Amino acid sequence: MTARAVTQPRYTFDLPEGLEASEPPEARGLTRDAVRMLVSYKGSGSIVPSSFVFLPRFLDPGDLLVINTSGTLPAAVEAVADDGTVLAIHLSTQLDGARWVVEPRRIVGRTTERWTGPLPSQNLRLAGAASAVLDEPYGDRGRLWMATLDLGMRTLSWLAAHGRPIRYGYVERPWPIEMYQNVYATTPGSAEMPSAGRPFTPQAITALVAKGVGITPLVLHTGVASLEADELPYPERMIVPAATAERVNAAHDGGHRVIAVGTTVVRALETAGADDGRVAAYEGWTDRVISPDEGVHVVDGMITGWHEPASSHLMMLEAIAGGELLAASYEAAVAQGFRWHEFGDTHLILP
């Protein structure tokens, strides 16, 4: 399983450090749905600043939101090498049974950084008398490894006792796993939160349903991101239920828009979709990388967060919004002080 060869991202920008969201909005006295939202229209090129709580105003009855109900794992654990070196291990993707793709990371103060150079050992001791063996590198970037875990219990139970949410240097202190869960998450499996859905609250969902906007689920378990290495996404597990495929097709048949909540949903729908935009049920792996070269065939718009300069996600956004609107949207977001990353503000792209 290897990602398809795709042209690397063509769009980058300067992100001021002060725009990185270092804490959840709740820590600033806001509800989840009070984060800011920039609305970008591909057809007119207009860009409208708003707030996520007003999302129903920008959608029409009959529009269909597709959400990813994968739940976030406490996927960061400490490990000790044979020579006593303490390092962090980020569990990324479960391959089968006890075999996982993992990322070893160097602990630096309150955060971690990408491990470079030889590892101190491929045999690692974990908490609770558990262990891991780094069997061989995964992919050709040298960042990820295939590992065999010996935990002595179910993985989810062990992680609940010994794991913590993955966090990067811009988040200044630990937060409980609940802060990294979307309110509609049902199926644990993501290394990192599918964060485009974080602003949703029960009240926001109720308001959308009252407007006549449909909501339908799929599952894609996200692997680890890498802020230090500009990489294309690796293969991930996904499920598009038959009912969701039918609702997507029915929305299009009725002349309505299909709006993906997050890059994970775009990846899943475009994997399950044909060139004519028809979607079929799908369960398995996806190595699909969405780029402007191939465009999108299923989704009409999306809700997403604000992504790092030169991130591979920007290729997907360009495929949906077009390069000119994408650049104008990011310039506006920086100028207006929108916040980045999983605890930040949001971006609604519409046709």
Decide if 12 is inside a domain: no
Strand order in the sheet with 346-350: 47-51, 36-41, 346-350, 301-304, 258-261, 64-68, 214-220, 236-240, 282-286
In the predicted structure, residue 15 carries a pLDDT above the cut 60? yes
Identify which has the larger pLDDT, 239 or 11. Answer: 239
Q: Which of 92, 237, 264, 68 is nearest to 163 (CA)?
A: 92
Amino acid (1-letter code) at residue 154: R
- SS3 category, 264: helix
Mean pLDDT of the chain: 93
Based on the fold, state whether residues 152 and 294 are members of the same structural domain.
no
Please tell me which residue, 15 or 304, carries the higher pLDDT value.
Answer: 304
Q: What is the pLDDT of residue 169?
A: 87
Nearest to 246 by CA among 283, 284, 221, 278: 278
Q: What is the mean pLDDT of residues 164-181?
A: 94
**Contact present, 195 and 305 (Cβ < 8 Å):** yes
Among 132, 162, 192, where does a domain finish? 162
Question: Does residue 141 carry a pLDDT above 80?
Answer: no
If asked whether residues 54 and 107 sit together in one domain, one would say no
Q: Are 54 and 89 in a shared domain?
A: no
Please tell me the total count of domains within the chain: 2
Q: In this predicted structure, what is the pLDDT of residue 10?
A: 61
Domain co-membership, 242 together with 308: yes
Buried/exposed code over 277-304 (b: 16+ C-beta within 10 A; e: otherwise):
bebeebeeebebbbbbeeebebbbbbbb
Q: What type of residue sits at position 332?
A: A
Determine the pLDDT at residue 31.
96
Q: Are residues 88 and 26 in the same domain?
A: no
Residue 214 sits in the same domain as residue 339: yes
Helix, strand and coil in the chain, % to nearest 5 = 25, 30, 45
Does residue 316 share a domain with residue 337? yes
What share of the chain has pLDDT > 70, as a percent?
95
Q: Pull the structure tokens for residue 217.
A: 């689920």
**Count of other CB atoms within 10 angstroms of residue 208:** 18
267/291 same-domain check = yes
65 and 85 co-located in one domain: no
Q: What is the CATH number of the domain that holds 59?
A: 3.40.1780.10
* CA 260 to centroid of chain Cα atoms: 12
Domain-located, residue 206:
yes
Same domain, 310 and 197: yes
Q: Is the pLDDT at 294 greater than 50, yes or no?
A: yes
User: What is the DSSP code (8-state) at residue 20?
Assistant: B
Q: State the residue range of the domain holding 145.
A: 76-162
State mean pLDDT over 125-146. 92
pLDDT band at 116 (very low <50, low <70, confident <90, very high): confident
The angle, 0 to 180 degrees and rounded to 10, between the axes of the packed helices 323-335 and 313-321 is 110
Q: Which residues contact 266 (CB under 8 A, 6 or more apart)?
A: 260, 290, 296, 299, 302, 316, 320
Note the pLDDT tens digit of each residue in 20-36.
999 999 999 999 999 99
Instruction: Grade residue 230 by pLDDT with cuts at 50, 70 and 90.
Output: low
